[in-house]
């Protein structure tokens, strides 16, 4: 019996477990209760939000973003290697198109994050001015993401708070006009409280100038010309200037220059894998240059300029009877002495029947696109994407003035663009239509491959006409109205009972 | 302790200490055959000892006065033969357990016809007393029943009479009294299926007492096959247990599903090996398996409560038995070959098809296709990667034991090269299992060690070919394999074609392997507290290490794949499980009542940690991180989860007729928030052995067994990731900042937490019947069940607009499975021919009752590298149903294209003659996802297996067939290959593409196809039914005489064929799909990342010393 008692005692001891056995803390991650304490927490939250702008899959300035932002334009060709990209560039895409859906999801992820910052900033003890600036910065980023959604999708859910309950995951779409209202409201608030500049360690974040420029651009997109003029004119009073050499805007050595109003920061630092996703292994450069480079220099030649763009550049020569310097900076083609990646042009094959390849943003002074600046064998380019250049401010302002009939006031802004391109002065006395034609021509060649052309054509109402009047593969499949926007992603419709597909899809 | 037993033990003790001891034994046999003429009793004893393994204790002098024996018996029970041998001898004997103790007859022994009192104890073979045994003097009505301790006392008139011992479920035994006053008898259990011992959770139960639905396979039924894992050889052998290959990769193993898909998350059953939960049983050694028992219904599995909803697989490894060491050695050597390649074009054929496709699209022809007639056959990429690969296995097992300790020790080596070049698998196993009894105490342990090495192929190089198997099908045959001038030595694709990698280069330029070391240990101590009451402390510890190695050499393969530096990535993880269980077991028979009661407490903790490191730019030929010049990467994390449980069970049987099992488990899990931490899992089951009723006796000649069973219970599931209930901040979401463009560390909440998640629970009702005919020669077991799962734990898709990067786990809905399963076996002999036929069949239907928000639809199964999903799971339907746009033929003319319109608008405006016509299901004038229709189920109407084994003289043959009927498979690789949309290689069927002069059912060749002829549609959905000859084995066993001559116990040699043939209409590699992990894409064949199944022919030996 004694043994029995001892055994029961032992059993009782091993049985008695602490309550904490089932109360475990995640050792890998802190939780929302312990976050939002210091200014560093707020800054980390901003890094996590900015980062989505260059997300490899869904960031508007990541590789897929550049492909879908340009791919539908009359100046751009995408080969049929990645079927979804080929489909959207040939207007045969469907609501389950991967890159388009990733753009939607990534934009909303950024919005969720900005909403978190706005909802939690009060938990952090901050100087009032500093806090206002952070709120302004969060609103800039939210406005920018709604801007991306508005130009690509039109109608979309408008979410400006953090979902509190499971039910609030499901939001119906709002009309495009309401999205634009939010964009303008956010940019207006951002412009009021953002600093005009940052100390050197924070260069790259959104400034007052960026907010004003985007506010002006949003007004242009909504045809609020007078408001656009007001906002954009303020930018011209700040310290922005065109780079004397147009091509300097697209090389890694001249990042964050005087022409840069808002720029996506990219560098081959962090991890080694550009496709690793949001973790420490993610290389913080961009793979676009490698995907666009010809196969002769380890590229995947996914895209090509059309001959329509090539010919558009040739329409007007410089005062020295040379090609537009922007043509040399944007394209590489078979001209005397042409070299690319330290090789003569003759070592390259033009595989799609078009006459040129993209040079803009390529690391063409390297031997190939393989090696990032860190020496790692990945494809991460350190070249920043210039999201909004001062040249855009000038041309948008010229357009705002022209559309209000103030053609004379538009001349000096167009002249700045033309002067840099070494083009002769415009004849005086242009009608608004003539001036608009000039602005349209300038925008096409000034901003090739900069996610502008397709959206410009759309707001000008010229999509159907210009696509038909081009050598774009798949132009016969364009249906006016339908392909102006991406459809609501199928996954959104599948998982959101409140969501309905747009009527023409 | 009974006085009589004490006396016997004293006697034994004296004999042990004072006399010459002769203890010998081999294995036990029930029956003996003797043909003796004038044999001395000593010779007789020696013969009996050899045949039965019983020990004989005697003094040599005792045999001096004995008579010679003349006896001829064939296959008679040992105890009867013993009786005959000692009839009339001056010696009598007592059987104590497995020992026969001889002693001289006393005077009383030699005086017959005198009333004597005979006493004794009746035990079973394990030495447990048997109450309720009928003891009767033969031919009289003089009889008595043994008491609760198995003792009897009977006064007999005639000391030379014969006692009959009868007890249900045991073989009747007759013992001549021979003047003895003490006769202890060991009753042997009758060898019927109902008397098998079935392993259930925390114990065993006789099949006749079983009320739950279980399926079992004995180790001896798993014949050595040319396969590397045990589960594969179980396919089709257990009704209601679906075993699918998890891929053809060497060592890939299988996925086991019990009674259909009971959950939408992790549907793997709970594996318990010798009392310890393990992640998988694929790494166990086939020869180590004593039995595999599968607990299917709530009654059987409820004792494992929270983790048992998907069923429980209990593996018991072999234990040693009393007697001299048994040494077994098995060896197997075989060759494997791919069962089925896909038919693709050669270079010339490809160029012709490609040119036609470009011409039709109005796009320029590819340079490499310009001169088809000069290309010839080109490279056969499939030939280049597949090989005939050897497989070999060697095992050795030593077991034995004495009175106090039994042991079983084994070791194994397994080496399988893959049918895909470079790949392979090696495994080393070692196992020790012992049990020691000392008085009231019993101690034991199992230690299972295994080390596996998998050499696998790369998953893909970022290109669109997929893994080398997919690339070999898609790689254009015009390209070469080798290019000595290229970095790395391999050629590859160039020009404007899809970036498919050279599969030979993939296999040789990236070395990937995984080493998995597993330690499974179990130790227990049991003490007998009171008669029938045992306390057991069971400790389990498992520790498994994975080490992954990935070394990518520097290379340039064609123009599309470049990798300028040698890079290495290593990662290691470790999972440690600690299990502590305290159980009290009470086992008591009194009168007609029998009780088995269990109460227990268990604590289980699982800790996981992971570390990764890598570096770029290593010198050629060096694969150590320290040598790298480039960037370092690191990573690491850990998780922990705990489970605390209390449980109890009662198994009650009255008169072997009425059975009751009730169990209860209370579980607490750290995976849930404090509000929903605990779950309760009750179950109850009833059984009725109708054939033991008196009224049934007249039927017993034909209808030997009839038992009805019914059960109901609730089981749980907690298979979700840890910490889902708390809102975490994800870190290292970085950006670049500042004039010097440095990394800016980022962190934020990226996904939603699920604070209110709770246990998933499954209510199972089961009714079953066990039937036996003709003395149980024919046995049938049938079960019908309804399993209703509620609060399904699932990552339900939330809208992208909510902004989370992943979907939160929620209790998403309800699911129902209904099914029927039948197992049959028949064993008999015709003369010298012994044969057995067995079969299983099961049918399960699942239905989603409710899901998420009500209208929630979960799409899954993207069958190709890019492309739309193919399955849908929604309320009212079956899980992962195919949901596809329907193809309805080919447009044979422009008139047909134009005629296919709605309100004057073409439904397929981009179509041309030769394109596929799709059904506008919703009649909205266009073809899109809203036109999808339910196109079939990935689940079969029924699955079955059947086998035949037979032996005659020394030959045996064993064959097993297995199949499924009525399921659909989506052939993803065919979707890629039976279309010229993209520039890679095509299926042979494209030679028969539609042209104006050839109206075939293969759409026209067109590149950059605007009609999407190869869109995800019903065109690529195929019938997945198949019948496979899984095993054919022919063996020869050396006859005893010859075996004896070469001093071995037995030797069997055999030839075996695995997967000899498969009858199916399915055109992919294998209708028994591999790889799919999610139940939502169960029927989708991801052919571009598959590993085809091999056909294996092997030779083997099984030797016992």
> How far is Cα B562 from Cα B569, in angstroms, rounded to an integer?
18
**Count of residues in chain B:** 1105
pLDDT in tens, B85-102: 777 777 777 777 677 877
pLDDT, chain B, mean: 87
Q: Are A492 and B982 inside 8 Å of each other by CB? A: no
Return the pLDDT at A8: 55
Mutate to test the interface with B, among A270, A302, A477, A487 (most CBs of B within 10 A): A270
Q: Which residues of A touch B1012 (CB under 8 A)?
A: 92
B366, pLDDT greater than 70: yes
Distance of residue A18 Cα from the nearest chain B Cα, in angstroms:
10
Return the pLDDT at B854: 67
Return the pLDDT at A11: 55
**Which helix (H) or strand (E) element contains residue B163?**
strand B162-166
Burial of A129 (0-12, 13-18, 19+ CB in 10 A): exposed
Q: Cβ distance A250 to A272 under 8 Å? A: no
Q: Which residues of A touch B796 (CB under 8 A)?
A: 495
- Chains A and B form CB pairs within 8 A to the count of 322
- Start-to-end CA span in chain B (Å): 40
A217 touches chain B (CB under 8 A): no
Q: Which residues of A touch B856 (CB under 8 A)?
A: 495
Strands B1050-1064 and B203-206, bridge-based pairing: unpaired
Identity of the residue in A169, A278, A282 whose CB atom sits nearest the CB atom of B799: A169
pLDDT band at residue B229 using 50, 70 and 90 as cut-offs: low
Distance of residue A395 Cα from the nearest chain B Cα, in angstroms:
28
Identity of the residue in B728, B735, B799 whose CB atom sits nearest the CB atom of A31: B728
B582 touches chain A (CB under 8 A): yes
**Among candidate residues B692, B570, B582, B595, the one with its CA nearest the CA of residue B647:** B582
B498 touches chain A (CB under 8 A): yes
Nearest-Cα residue of chain B relative to residue A47: B746
pLDDT band at residue B2 using 50, 70 and 90 as cut-offs: very low
B429 touches chain A (CB under 8 A): no
Q: Which residue has the higher pLDDT, B115 or B1001?
A: B1001
pLDDT in tens, B1005-1049: 999 888 989 899 999 999 999 999 988 989 999 988 888 899 898
A21 touches chain B (CB under 8 A): yes
Q: Cβ distance B1091 to B425 under 8 Å? A: no
Q: Cβ distance B151 to B172 under 8 Å? A: no
Q: Which residues of B touch A174 (CB under 8 A)?
A: none
B929 touches chain A (CB under 8 A): yes
pLDDT band at residue B112 using 50, 70 and 90 as cut-offs: very low
Strands B735-737 and B730-731, bridge-based pairing: unpaired
Return the pLDDT at A10: 56
The CA–CA distances, whole Å, from A232 to A182, A193, A217, A404, A417 equal 19, 17, 8, 14, 16
Return the pLDDT at B766: 94
Identity of the residue in B535, B739, B801 whose CB atom sits nearest the CB atom of A159: B801
pLDDT band at residue B496 using 50, 70 and 90 as cut-offs: confident
Work out the angle between the directed axes of helices A225-236 and A208-221 (0-180°, nearest 10).
160
A104 touches chain B (CB under 8 A): yes
Start-end of H helices in B452-562: 468-474, 503-509
Return the pLDDT at B30: 63
Considering only residues 951 to 990 of chain B, which have any Cβ-Cβ distance to chain A shorter than 8 Å?
981-983
SS3 B662: strand
Considering only residues 282 to 301 of chain B, which have any Cβ-Cβ distance to chain A shorter than 8 Å?
none
Quick one: tokens of B287?
């020869």
Considering only residues 760 to 799 of chain B, which have any Cβ-Cβ distance to chain A shorter than 8 Å?
796-799
The CA–CA distances, whole Å, from B905 to A87, B895, B899, B901, B913 equal 22, 14, 10, 5, 17
Angle A338-A340-A346 (CA atoms, 0-180°, nearest 5)?
60
The CA–CA distances, whole Å, from B625 to A265, B81, B547, B630 equal 31, 73, 15, 10
| Neighbouring C-beta atoms of residue A55, cutoff 10 Å | 26
| DSSP per-residue letters across B1010-1061 | TT-TTSSBGGGEEE--EEEEEEEEEEEE--HHHHHHTT-SEEEEEEEEEEEE
φ/ψ of B191, rounded to 5, equals -80, 65
> How far is Cα B903 from Cα B919, in angstroms, rounded to an integer?
16
Outline where DSSP puts E strands in B253-372: 254-258, 270-273, 276-278, 289-295, 312-317, 323-338
Identity of the residue in A51, A375, A494 whose CB atom sits nearest the CB atom of B735: A51
A480 touches chain B (CB under 8 A): no
B370 touches chain A (CB under 8 A): no
> How far is Cα B444 from Cα B526, in angstroms, rounded to an integer?
9
ipTM for the predicted complex comes to 0.95
Q: Which of the residue ranges A60-74, B277-291, B795-809, B934-948 has the most confident prediction, judged by mean pLDDT?
A: A60-74
The CA–CA distances, whole Å, from B260 to A102, B238, B784, B1079 equal 35, 13, 13, 10
Q: Please name the residue that has the structure tokens 């000392």.
A: B438
Distance of residue A60 Cα from the nearest chain B Cα, in angstroms:
15
A503 touches chain B (CB under 8 A): no
> How far is Cα A479 from Cα A485, in angstroms, rounded to an integer?
11
Q: Which residues of A touch B635 (CB under 8 A)?
A: 279-281
Burial of A197 (0-12, 13-18, 19+ CB in 10 A): middle
Quick one: tokens of A236?
């011209």
Distance of residue B638 Cα from the nearest chain A Cα, in angstroms:
7
Q: Which residues of A touch B866 (CB under 8 A)?
A: 82-84, 98
> How far is Cα B136 from Cα B155, in angstroms, rounded to an integer?
10
Return the pLDDT at B13: 43
Considering only residues 860 to 889 of chain B, which have any Cβ-Cβ distance to chain A shorter than 8 Å?
866-869
Q: Cβ distance A324 to A445 under 8 Å? A: yes
φ/ψ of A197, rounded to 5, equals -155, 170
Distance of residue A184 Cα from the nearest chain B Cα, in angstroms:
20
Considering only residues 83 to 102 of chain A, which have any Cβ-Cβ distance to chain B shorter than 8 Å?
83-84, 86, 90, 92, 94-96, 98, 101
Mutate to test the interface with A, among B803, B810, B855 (most CBs of A within 10 A): B803
The CA–CA distances, whole Å, from B816 to B308, B339, B414, B787, B813 equal 16, 37, 41, 6, 10
Nearest-Cα residue of chain A relative to residue B852: A495
Q: Which residues of B touch A49 (CB under 8 A)?
A: 746, 748
> How far is Cα B144 from Cα B347, in angstroms, rounded to an integer?
89
Considering only residues 269 to 328 of chain A, which have any Cβ-Cβ distance to chain B shorter than 8 Å?
269-273, 275, 278-282, 284, 295-296, 298, 300-301
Return the pLDDT at B920: 95
Strands B968-971 and B1084-1085, bridge-based pairing: parallel
Distance of residue B124 Cα from the nearest chain A Cα, in angstroms:
28
| DSSP per-residue letters across A244-309 | SSGGGGGSGGGTT-TTEEEEE---S-B-SBTTS-SSTTBBSSBSHHHHHS-GGGT----EEE-HHH
A471 touches chain B (CB under 8 A): no
Q: Which residues of B touch A352 (CB under 8 A)?
A: 496
A14 touches chain B (CB under 8 A): yes
Over range B976-1000, report the average pLDDT: 94
Residues 6 or more apart whose Cβ sits within 8 Å of residue B184: B4, B8, B94, B95, B96, B120, B121, B122, B123
B18, pLDDT greater than 70: no
Return the pLDDT at B1077: 67
SS3 B520: strand
Return the pLDDT at B8: 47
Return the pLDDT at B796: 83
Per-residue pLDDT of chain A (505 residues), as tens digits, is 455 555 554 555 555 555 578 888 888 888 888 899 999 999 999 999 999 999 999 999 999 999 999 999 999 999 988 888 999 999 999 898 999 999 999 999 999 999 999 999 999 999 999 999 999 999 999 999 999 999 999 999 999 999 988 889 999 999 999 999 999 999 999 999 999 999 999 999 999 999 999 999 999 999 999 999 999 999 999 999 999 999 999 999 999 999 999 999 999 888 878 888 999 889 899 999 999 999 888 888 999 999 999 999 999 999 999 999 999 999 999 999 999 999 999 999 998 889 999 999 999 999 888 765 444 456 789 999 999 999 999 999 999 999 999 999 999 999 999 999 999 999 999 999 999 999 999 999 999 999 999 999 999 999 999 999 999 988 999 999 999 999 999 889 988 989 999 988 8
């Amino acid at each position: 019996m004694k043994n029995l008692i001892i055994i029961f005692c032992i059993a009782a001891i091993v049985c008695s477990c602490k309550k904490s056995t089932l109360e475990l803390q995640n050792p890998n991650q802190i939780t929302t209760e312990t976050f939002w304490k210091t200014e560093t927490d707020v800054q980390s939250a901003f890094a996590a939000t900015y980062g989505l702008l260059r997300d490899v899959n869904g960031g508007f300035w990541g590789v897929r973003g550049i492909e879908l932002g340009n791919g539908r334009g009359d100046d751009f060709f995408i080969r049929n290697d990645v079927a979804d990209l080929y489909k959207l560039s040939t207007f045969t895409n469907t609501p389950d198109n991967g890159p388009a859906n990733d753009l939607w999801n990534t934009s909303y992820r950024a919005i969720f994050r900005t909403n978190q910052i706005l909802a939690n900033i009060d938990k952090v003890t901050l100087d009032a001015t500093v806090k206002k600036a952070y709120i302004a910065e969060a609103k800039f980023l939210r406005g920018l993401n709604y801007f991306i959604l508005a130009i690509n999708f039109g109608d979309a859910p408008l979410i400006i708070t953090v979902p509190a309950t499971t039910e609030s995951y499901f939001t119906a779409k709002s009309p495009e006009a309401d999205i634009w209202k939010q964009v303008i409201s956010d940019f207006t608030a951002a412009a009021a409280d953002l600093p005009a500049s940052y100390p050197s360690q924070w260069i790259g974040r959104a400034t007052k100038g960026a907010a004003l420029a985007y506010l002006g651009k949003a007004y242009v997109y909504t045809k609020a010309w007078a408001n656009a003029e007001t906002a954009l004119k303020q930018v011209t009073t700040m310290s922005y200037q065109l780079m004397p050499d147009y091509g300097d805007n697209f090389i890694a050595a001249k990042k964050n220059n005087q022409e840069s109003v808002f720029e996506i920061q990219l560098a081959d630092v962090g991890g080694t894998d550009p496709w690793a996703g949001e973790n420490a292994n993610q290389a913080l450069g961009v793979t676009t240059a490698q995907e666009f480079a010809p196969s002769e220099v380890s590229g995947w030649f996914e895209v090509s300029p059309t001959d329509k763009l090539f010919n558009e550049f040739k329409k007007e020569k410089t005062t020295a009877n040379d090609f537009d310097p922007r043509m040399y900076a944007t394209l590489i083609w078979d001209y005397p002495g042409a070299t690319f990646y330290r090789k003569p042009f003759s070592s390259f094959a033009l595989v799609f029947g078009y006459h040129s390849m993209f040079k803009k943003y390529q690391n063409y002074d390297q031997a190939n696109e393989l090696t990032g600046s860190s020496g790692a064998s990945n494809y991460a380019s350190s070249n920043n994407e210039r999201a909004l250049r001062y040249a855009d401010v000038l041309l948008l302002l010229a357009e705002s003035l022209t559309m209000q009939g103030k053609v004379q006031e538009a001349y000096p802004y167009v002249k700045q663009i033309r002067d840099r391109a070494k083009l002769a002065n415009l004849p005086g006395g242009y009608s608004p239509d003539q001036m608009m034609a000039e602005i349209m021509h300038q925008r096409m060649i000034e901003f090739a491959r900069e996610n502008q052309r397709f959206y410009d054509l759309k707001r000008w109402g010229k999509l159907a006409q210009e696509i038909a009047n081009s050598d774009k593969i798949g132009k016969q499949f364009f249906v006016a109205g339908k392909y102006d926007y991406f459809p609501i992603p199928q996954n959104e419709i599948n998982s959101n009972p409140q969501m309905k597909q747009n009527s023409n899809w | 302790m009974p006085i009589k037993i004490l006396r016997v033990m004293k006697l034994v003790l004296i004999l042990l200490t004072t006399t010459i001891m002769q203890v010998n034994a081999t294995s036990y046999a029930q029956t003996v055959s003797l043909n003796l003429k004038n044999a001395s009793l000593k010779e007789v004893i020696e013969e009996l000892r050899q045949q039965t393994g019983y020990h004989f204790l005697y003094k040599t002098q005792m045999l001096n006065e004995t008579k010679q024996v003349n006896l001829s018996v064939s296959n008679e029970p040992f105890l009867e033969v013993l009786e005959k041998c000692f009839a009339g001898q001056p010696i009598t004997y007592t059987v104590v357990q497995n020992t026969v103790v001889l002693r001289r007859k006393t005077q009383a022994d030699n005086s017959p016809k005198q009333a004597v009192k005979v006493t004794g104890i009746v035990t079973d073979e394990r030495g447990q007393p048997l109450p309720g045994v009928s003891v009767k003097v033969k031919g009289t009505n003089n009889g008595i029943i043994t008491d609760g301790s198995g003792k009897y006392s009977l006064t007999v008139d005639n000391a030379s009479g014969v006692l009959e011992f009868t007890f249900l479920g045991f073989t009747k035994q007759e013992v001549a009294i021979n003047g003895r006053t003490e006769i202890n008898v060991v009753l042997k259990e009758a060898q019927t299926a109902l008397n098998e011992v079935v392993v259930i959770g925390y114990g065993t139960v006789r099949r006749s007492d079983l009320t739950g639905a279980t399926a079992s396979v004995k180790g001896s039924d798993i014949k050595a096959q040319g396969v590397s894992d045990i589960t594969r050889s179980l396919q089709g052998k257990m009704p209601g247990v679906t075993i699918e290959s998890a891929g053809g990769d060497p060592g890939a193993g299988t996925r086991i599903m019990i009674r259909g898909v009971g959950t939408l998350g992790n549907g793997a059953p709970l594996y318990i090996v010798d009392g310890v939960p393990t992640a998988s049983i694929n790494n166990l050694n086939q020869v180590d398996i004593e039995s595999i028992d599968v607990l299917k219904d709530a009654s059987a599995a409820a004792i494992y409560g929270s983790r048992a909803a998907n069923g429980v697989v209990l593996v018991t490894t072999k234990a040693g038995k009393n007697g001299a060491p048994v040494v077994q050695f098995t060896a197997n050597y075989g060759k494997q070959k791919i069962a089925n390649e896909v038919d693709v074009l050669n270079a010339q054929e490809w160029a012709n098809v490609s040119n036609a496709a470009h011409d039709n699209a109005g796009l320029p022809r590819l340079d490499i296709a310009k001169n088809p007639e000069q290309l010839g056959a080109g490279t056969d990429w499939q030939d280049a990667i597949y090989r005939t690969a050897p497989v070999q296995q060697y095992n050795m097992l030593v077991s034995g034991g004495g009175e106090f300790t039994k042991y079983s020790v084994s070791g194994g080596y397994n080496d399988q090269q893959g049918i895909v070049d470079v790949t392979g698998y090696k495994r080393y196993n070692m196992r020790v299992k012992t049990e020691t009894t000392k008085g009231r105490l019993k101690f034991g342990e199992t230690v299972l060690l295994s080390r596996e090495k998998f050499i696998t192929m790369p998953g893909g190089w970022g290109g669109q070919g997929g893994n080398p198997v997919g690339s070999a099908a898609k790689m254009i045959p015009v390209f070469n394999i080798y290019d000595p001038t290229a970095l790395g030595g391999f050629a590859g694709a160039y020009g404007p074609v899809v970036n498919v990698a050279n599969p030979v280069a993939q296999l040789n330029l990236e070395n990937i392997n995984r080493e998995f070391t597993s330690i499974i240990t179990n130790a227990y101590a049991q003490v007998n507290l009171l008669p029938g009451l045992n306390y057991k402390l069971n400790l389990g510890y498992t520790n498994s290490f994975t080490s992954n190695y990935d070394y990518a050499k520097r290379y340039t393969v064609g123009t599309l794949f470049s990798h300028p530096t040698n890079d290495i990535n290593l990662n290691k993880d470790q999972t440690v499980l600690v299990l502590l269980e305290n159980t009290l077991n009470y086992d008591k028979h009194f009168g007609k009542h029998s009780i088995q009661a269990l109460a227990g407490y268990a604590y289980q903790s699982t800790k996981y940690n992971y570390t990764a490191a890598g570096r770029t730019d290593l010198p050629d030929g060096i694969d150590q991180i320290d040598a790298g010049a480039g960037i370092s990467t690191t990573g690491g994390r850990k998780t922990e989860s705990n489970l605390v449980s209390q449980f109890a069970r009662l198994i009650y049987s009255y008169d072997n007729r009425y059975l009751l099992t009730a169990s209860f488990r209370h579980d607490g899990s750290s995976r849930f928030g404090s509000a929903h931490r605990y779950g309760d899992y009750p179950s109850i089951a009833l059984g009725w052995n109708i054939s033991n009723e008196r009224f049934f006796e007249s039927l017993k000649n034909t209808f030997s067994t009839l038992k009805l069973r019914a059960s109901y219970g609730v089981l749980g599931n907690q298979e979700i990731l840890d910490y889902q209930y708390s809102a975490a901040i994800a870190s290292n979401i970085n950006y670049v900042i500042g004039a010097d463009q440095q990394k800016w560390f980022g962190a934020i909440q990226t996904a939603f937490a699920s604070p209110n998640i709770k246990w998933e629970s499954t209510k199972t009702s089961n009714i079953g019947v066990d039937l036996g005919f003709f003395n149980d020669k024919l046995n049938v077991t049938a079960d019908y069940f309804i399993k209703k799962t509620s609060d399904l734990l699932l990552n339900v898709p939330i809208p992208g607009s909510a902004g989370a990067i992943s979907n939160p786990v929620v209790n998403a809905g309800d699911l129902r499975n209904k099914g029927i399963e039948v197992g049959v076996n028949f064993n008999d002999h015709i003369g010298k021919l012994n044969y057995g036929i067995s079969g299983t069949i099961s049918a399960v239907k699942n239905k989603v009752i409710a899901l998420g928000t009500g209208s929630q639809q979960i799409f899954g199964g993207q069958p190709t590298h890019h492309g739309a999903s193919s399955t849908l799971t929604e309320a009212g339907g079956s899980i992962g149903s195919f949901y596809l746009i329907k193809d309805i033929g080919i447009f044979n003319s422009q008139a047909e294209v134009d005629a296919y319109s709605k309100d004057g608008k073409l439904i397929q405006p981009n179509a041309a003659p030769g394109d596929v016509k799709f059904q506008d299901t919703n009649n909205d004038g266009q073809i899109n996802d809203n036109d999808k229709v339910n196109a079939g189920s990935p689940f079969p109407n029924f699955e079955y297996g059947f086998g035949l084994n037979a032996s005659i003289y020394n030959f045996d043959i064993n064959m097993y067939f297995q199949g499924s009927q009525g399921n659909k498979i989506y052939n993803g690789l065919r979707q890629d290959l039976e279309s010229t949309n993209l520039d890679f290689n095509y299926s042979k069927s494209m030679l028969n593409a539609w042209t104006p002069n050839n109206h075939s059912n293969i759409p026209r060749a067109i590149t950059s196809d605007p009609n999407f002829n190869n869109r995800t549609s019903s065109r690529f959905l195929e019938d997945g039914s198949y019948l496979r000859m899984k095993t054919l084995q022919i063996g020869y066993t050396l006859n005893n005489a010859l075996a004896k001559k070469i001093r071995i116990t037995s030797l069997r040699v055999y030839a075996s064929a695995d997967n000899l043939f498969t009858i199916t209409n399915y055109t992919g590699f294998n209708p028994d799909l591999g790889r799919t992990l999610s139940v939502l894409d169960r029927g989708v064949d991801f052919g571009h990342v598959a590993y085809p199944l091999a056909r294996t022919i092997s030779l083997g030996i099984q030797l016992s010393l």
